[in-house]
Structure 1
Amino acid sequence: MGLDFHLSARSFLQLNPEQTETLYEEAAKAIDLTPDDTLIDAYAGIGTIGLSLASRVKRVLGMETIPEAVADANQNATLNGITNARYEIGTAEEVMPRWRQEGLNFDAIIVDPPRTGLDRAFIDQILQEKPHKFAYISCNMATLARNLTHLVPTYRVEYIQPIDMIPQTPRCEAVVKLVLNER
């Protein structure tokens, strides 16, 4: 998507750059961002998702538990001249409430967790915050299904779009558009 990325040894990067662009564009479509949105980039890694979408929003706030990846994400923002994004070390369930206490508001969230899926405490945090715009990227359909069972009472799945990241293998990514149920 026209950006350059640096990564350290402990950081993660999708292996198929062409399909990665397809994946991120599908996530952008699912979340329907506007220039007034503040986007949470949870499980951010080196910031590829949030930084790829930073030009479409007012601000990107990201968090990741691997310190080297957070350093990479902030360095990647600088490398690409992106000034409306910042990344912090910590779990989403710890960082999001602190941001709220600091007066930061957000409209949209993108999650791209590891194969183990979303942490239950983070699911509870999402259900408490109830962001209106929510996209879930998953590389593991079993943990995606498990997580959706907890999210579906509050959100409805509008669609799931698979993206074949590694052709001729059984592995794929999925982008889920979640819409807050009206009450």
Structure 2
Amino acid sequence: MRLEGFDDVAVLDGGLPAWRAAGARVSNSPVTPSPATFTARRRPGLIMSTDEVAAAIADNKFHIVGVLDAATYRGETDVFARPGHIPGSMNLPIDRIRDPETGTLRPIEELRALFAASGLFDPAITPVTYCGGGVAATALAHALALVGRDDVCVYDGSLTAWTADPALPLVVGEQPG
């Protein structure tokens, strides 16, 4: 929604289980929504293409962050056309931003500490998130926006697009440093 210029959005943290746990009402009755008009105002700076990510690898103004589990990041699984991760990227598995018991986001102060330790608060760099197909990457972008980073880019094609091109480099194993 932010990509298309719509900022008045709320996310149900923890989904339907959290809603029910909070004692909120659930119904299966039909709902008739009120019509409204939405005019998109795309923010192209919040999304990156494969070519842009390839260029960002060598640009110290970007911090590329893979959000898949550690084994997939290291290339120990055969989920994609080729195993591995984007060169120069760091791994911050998406499960590190959620409470394992409730599925909700960790408290804001914990997220701030995690992101600061990962170098994601440096105003001189722009975080670029990626995953398998661009979905989980948006969760990290959302969490970063909640703590004040409204400039996070999502690599929409993510590893599905990256690994499909044999000319693009991949790193297998841990990323140094």
TM exceeding 0.5:
no
TM-score band, normalised by shorter chain:
0.3 to 0.5
More relative contact order, 1 or 2 (CA 8 Å, 6+ apart): 2
- State the TM-score, normalized to the length of structure 1: 0.32
Whose radius of gyration is greater, 1 or 2? 2
- State the TM-score, normalized to the length of structure 2: 0.32
